[in-house]
């Protein structure tokens, strides 16, 4: 079981359904004694990876001067990683994808992450709208050799607050306690 969990939330809508899903996960994780580092990446200034490989020559330090260093520092100590995002045009938000691309800075040194989970909300009637994001998540887990700890996808959500009372909140809380 993981002790240090990093959560990367890509939702630009503060207090929305994705935030509520994250809150439920955090509640379960904290009740189980986990340490949480939560980053709302949509609120941060994070540039896309330039592919310059400066980080390979500078012990994982990116050439860009933005808000990514605290995230990389947290990942260097994390046992588990959680991606959270609404579905935006059949994928994770651009803000979350930018952050994930910047993991490149840690490829040489590696991360202690052992497992990962995915939390998603979407407006579509089924969770199939999240299929591309689930595929990306599974590819990352496979490449990094992380255990896929599972995912929670909450469909049919259009307005903030519509997730209240839904079973996905309890699923996220349970996942938080078990990861």
For residue range 43-81, list pLDDT tens digits in order. Answer: 999 999 999 999 989 888 899 999 999 999 999 999 999
- Structure tokens given for 118: 């995915």
pLDDT at 23: 98
Summarize pLDDT for 114-131 with one digit per residue, the tens.
Answer: 999 999 999 999 888 999
* Domain map (residue ranges) of the chain: 4-178
Dihedral (Cα; 5, 81, 60, 104), 10-degree rounding? -170
Residues 6+ apart with CB under 8 A from 39: 6, 7, 8, 9, 70, 71, 74, 99
For residues 31-53, b (16+ Cβ closer than 10 Å) or e, as one string?
Answer: eeebebbbbbbbeeebeebeeee
Q: What local confidence, expressed as pLDDT, does residue 1 receive?
A: 60
Topology of the domain covering 4-178: Rossmann fold (3.40.50)
104-123 average pLDDT score: 94
Residue range 17-28, pLDDT digits in tens: 999 999 999 999
User: What pLDDT band is residue 136 in, cutting at 50, 70 and 90?
Assistant: very high
Cα separation, 165 vs 163, whole angstroms = 6
């Amino acid at each position: 079981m993981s002790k240090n969990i990093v959560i990367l939330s890509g939702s630009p809508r503060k207090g929305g359904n994705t935030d509520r899903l994250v809150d439920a996960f955090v509640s379960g994780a904290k009740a189980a004694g986990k340490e949480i580092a939560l980053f709302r990446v949509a609120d941060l200034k994070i540039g896309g990876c330039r592919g310059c490989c400066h980080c390979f020559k500078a012990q994982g330090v990116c050439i860009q001067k933005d808000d990514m260093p605290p995230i990389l520092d947290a990942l260097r100590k994390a046992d588990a990683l959680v991606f959270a995002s609404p579905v935006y045009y059949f994928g994770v938000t651009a803000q979350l994808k930018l952050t994930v691309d910047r993991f490149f800075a840690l490829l040489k040194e590696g991360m202690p992450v052992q497992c990962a989970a995915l939390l998603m909300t979407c407006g579509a009637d089924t969770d199939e709208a999240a299929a591309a994001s689930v595929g990306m998540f599974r590819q990352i887990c496979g490449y990094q050799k992380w255990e896929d700890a599972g995912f929670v996808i909450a469909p049919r959500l259009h307005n903030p607050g519509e997730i209240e009372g839904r079973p996905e909140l309890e699923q996220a809380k349970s996942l938080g306690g078990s990861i």
